[in-house]
Structure 1
């Protein structure tokens, strides 16, 4: 299996990846094909696909914030069962991020991720791919060491229509497994930068940010 980076919308592997996203994710979570041009060309956004026998069978997008020394996993797609795609992507991503942190003169402190709460979004089938089932994905993240940030989370729809997307948790994977809380200053700065690309924020998102700013720390708890 190959771990191949995509940096151009004209890359034939990107067409396969975008179709895979449409097959797996709900519509409001998938950016339109043409709108991917700038993100793919952005050196700070890292989009990789798992290629098996010439076919894109998995994908992951993530980024590393040098000033925060944290990463964000935008998404991970496992398109087929039985090939070890999930572990392959997780390992390759971690190796890449550790190299980026090392080049920044630091040791990676942790990684954010959003995860669906299957108890609130059972209707999402994720293309019928069993490894993408929300229950399975949540358990996988838990085994990797992710913890849920203890506050009600919403995010702006990627349709940029001002709608709020609910039914998710914001999680964090501390490289120091003993960590049980995060400073809200880091969370707020990260979220504001991450969603800069979506100017139409729902009011519930703005309220969430204000509530976070009123606190000093947020607990990291097990799923």
Structure 2
């Protein structure tokens, strides 16, 4: 299996990747094809696909914030069962992130991820792929060490229509196993991560503003 970075919407592999995203994620979670041009060309956004026999069978997008010494996993898709795609993507991504942190003179401190809560929002079938079942994904992320930030979480729709998307938790993987995270770090991360979307819902603005009144947030089991 090959781990290859995508840096242009003209790459034929990107068309396969975007089609896979459209089959798996709900519409409000998928950026329109043409709007991917700038993100793919951004050196700070890393989009990779897993290629098996010439076919895109998985994909992951993530980024490393040198000043935070934190990473963010935007998404991971396992497109077919029985090929070990999940471990392959995880291990390949981790090696890349470790190298990025090392180049910056750091050792990676942790990683954010938005995690579906199927106990609140169970209406996504993720393209009928059982490997993408939200109950399975949540349990796998828990085993990996992810924790739930103690925050009633919403995020702006990626359709940039000003709608608030619910049914997810903001998770964090602390590499040192700690059980709290600085509220100021969470606020700074969210403001930067969603700076690309001008139409943010009032609920998101209020959520982020509330973090300015907190010192730390608990990291709870998923």
In the alignment, does 2:77 pair up with 1:104?
Answer: no
**Structure 1 segments (4+ residues) deviating >4 Å:** none
In the alignment, does 2:69 pair up with 1:55?
Answer: no
- 1: CA distance between counterparts of 2:115 and 2:8? 27
Alignment-derived partner of residue 201 in structure 1: 200
- 2: CA distance between counterparts of 1:139 and 1:82? 18
In the alignment, does 2:134 pair up with 1:134?
Answer: yes
Alignment-derived partner of residue 187 in structure 2: 188
Unaligned runs of 5+ in 1: none
Alignment-derived partner of residue 211 in structure 2: 212
**Shift of residue 52, structure 1, vs aligned partner:** 0.3
- 3-state secondary structure, aligned to 1:141: helix
- 1: CA distance between counterparts of 2:185 and 2:209? 14
**Shift of residue 146, structure 1, vs aligned partner:** 0.3
Q: TM-score, normalised by structure 2?
A: 0.99
- 2: CA distance between counterparts of 1:144 and 1:53? 29
- 1: CA distance between counterparts of 2:20 and 2:121? 20
- 1: CA distance between counterparts of 2:10 and 2:88? 25
Alignment-derived partner of residue 44 in structure 2: 44
- 3-state secondary structure, aligned to 2:207: helix
- 1: CA distance between counterparts of 2:192 and 2:209? 15
- 1: CA distance between counterparts of 2:130 and 2:157? 25
Tell me the alpha carbon deviations over residues 6-49 of structure 1, each in whole angstroms, 9 at most, x when there is no partner.
00110000000000000000000000000000000000000000
Alignment-derived partner of residue 159 in structure 2: 159
Alignment-derived partner of residue 33 in structure 1: 33
- 2: CA distance between counterparts of 1:148 and 1:119? 14
- 2: CA distance between counterparts of 1:6 and 1:210? 35
Tell me the alpha carbon deviations over residues 69-111 of structure 1, each in whole angstroms, 9 at most, x when there is no partner.
0000000000001111111101110110000000000100000
**Shift of residue 211, structure 1, vs aligned partner:** 1.4
- 1: CA distance between counterparts of 2:39 and 2:22? 18
Q: TM-score, normalised by structure 1?
A: 0.99
- 2: CA distance between counterparts of 1:209 and 1:42? 25
In the alignment, does 2:21 pair up with 1:5?
Answer: no
Tell me the alpha carbon deviations over residues 156-186 of structure 1, each in whole angstroms, 9 at most, x when there is no partner.
0001010000000000001112x10000110
Unaligned runs of 5+ in 2: none
- 1: CA distance between counterparts of 2:86 and 2:143? 12
**Shift of residue 210, structure 1, vs aligned partner:** 1.6
